[in-house]
Amino acid sequence: MQVVTLRQMEELNKTPVKIRPEVLAVPAYKQGMAPSKQGFKLSSNENPFATLPEVQEAVNNADVNRYAAVAMPELRAAIGGLFGLNAETSQHMVHLAAGSVSILYQLIHAVAGPGDNYVYAWPSFEGYPLLSIATGAKGIPVALNNKFEHDLKAMAKTVTEDTRAILLCSPNNPTGPVIGAKNFHSFMKSIPKDVLVVLDEAYRELVTDSKAVRGEEVLEDYPNLVVLRTFSKAYGLAALRIGYGVGHPAVWEAARVTGIPLSVTAQAEAAASVSLTPAVSDQLNQQIAQLVDRRVALAEGLRSLGYEIPEAQGNFVWVPLGDDSLAFAEAFMQEGILVRPFAGSGVRISVGEAESVPEVLRIAGEFKKKA
């Protein structure tokens, strides 16, 4: 057995090479600590259902000795079909990558560099601010309104000559509300037509609000719009890393230049393809319907305990607790439940196993009594 000495540990904490100061300034990402006792993981918005046998089989049957062929025509056609595109058009308008977060990196790298900026709402997806360090472009956060929604007017006002991209997240992770279709159209008309707009719909399958903007209904109106979705959340393929974008072929040509080649694996392709077949997607839709019921039970339950819960349209609820956020998350940790605190702002609780719902409400109720 190798024993690491104290001196070696100290050496490991120093960097042996020159690293960009803006990179060093970012605290290293720490995966959430494991709770002390057996409980529920409600911190990453994953699908809590076990992998479907059809999906597992597709993964097991994929060969791994050769690189996957990048074309993946059937998968592109199936995704394009969700947007009303025919199989041929889908080959040019559907883009695949190892998670939609990779597509965000490809896009910002393709459109923005030092001196440019991109605009996003805040609080929103934690990946957005990090794009700035990777690309050298400046990220400009714009505060949500008091209903925890995107303040689209304020975002439009923030756009300058140097703005290369605007990131919209609907429903917004971590707070939950969608962007309304009407507001979306007014926004698109108010910004320059050559600024890339990314509509990140990572939780699209869970949206029940009929007024929500839906990528497939607005895409053809705006050549500067791309829609991002993922198989990680409602579709339950988080560990396989596969997401997609739909939009103008020229944008994807650029994204291919900045992306890491060959990053979509054959297993991911196989699992995503089988997930879109009618037999499997019916089962996934049944899971999604159950998750929506649990979401409603969680949001309503927390509201009746006196918590102010914004409109929840993803597979998570947002508990705006300000300075109590870390203590609230700690109370859950003590009970073996992992949730995601945002210090000073709130706590995001994912919709998980059916048995987790009463547990969450019990712990939240006890926290309220102590407060």
Residues that bind ligand PLP (CB under 6 A): 45, 99-101, 125, 169, 173, 200, 202, 230, 232-233, 238, 243
SS (H, E, C) 297-312: HHHHHHHHCCCCCCCC
- List, in order, residues 6 or more apart from 248 with CB less than 8 Å away: 93, 223, 224, 226
Q: How far is the CB of 230 from ligand PLP (least distance, A)?
A: 3
Q: How far is the CB of 228 from ligand PLP (least distance, A)?
A: 7
Where would I find the beta strands (DSSP E) of 251-332?
A: 316-320
Residue 105 three-state SS: helix
Q: How far is the CB of 253 from ligand PLP (least distance, A)?
A: 21
Residue closer to ligand PLP by CB (options 243, 301) is 243
Residue closer to ligand PLP by CB (options 106, 230) is 230
Q: How far is the CB of 244 from ligand PLP (least distance, A)?
A: 9
Residue 201 sits at φ, ψ, to 5 deg, of -110, 55
- List, in order, residues 6 or more apart from 179 with CB less than 8 Å away: 149, 150, 152, 168, 170, 172, 199, 212, 213
280 membership: H or E segment, kind and range? helix 278-304
Residue closer to ligand PLP by CB (options 230, 313) is 230
Q: How far is the CB of 127 from ligand PLP (least distance, A)?
A: 6
CA distance 177 to 173: 8
Residue closer to ligand PLP by CB (options 46, 116) is 46
Q: How far is the CB of 195 from ligand PLP (least distance, A)?
A: 20
- Beta bridge partners, 41, equal 338
CA distance 270 to 272: 6
Q: How far is the CB of 99 from ligand PLP (least distance, A)?
A: 3
Residue closer to ligand PLP by CB (options 244, 367) is 244
CB-side neighbour CA atoms (13 Å) of 11: 5
Residue closer to ligand PLP by CB (options 41, 301) is 41
Residue number, nearest CB to ligand PLP:
99
CA distance 255 to 94: 12
Q: What is the CA radius of gyration of the chain?
A: 21
Residue closer to ligand PLP by CB (options 200, 359) is 200
- Beta bridge partners, 138, equal 117
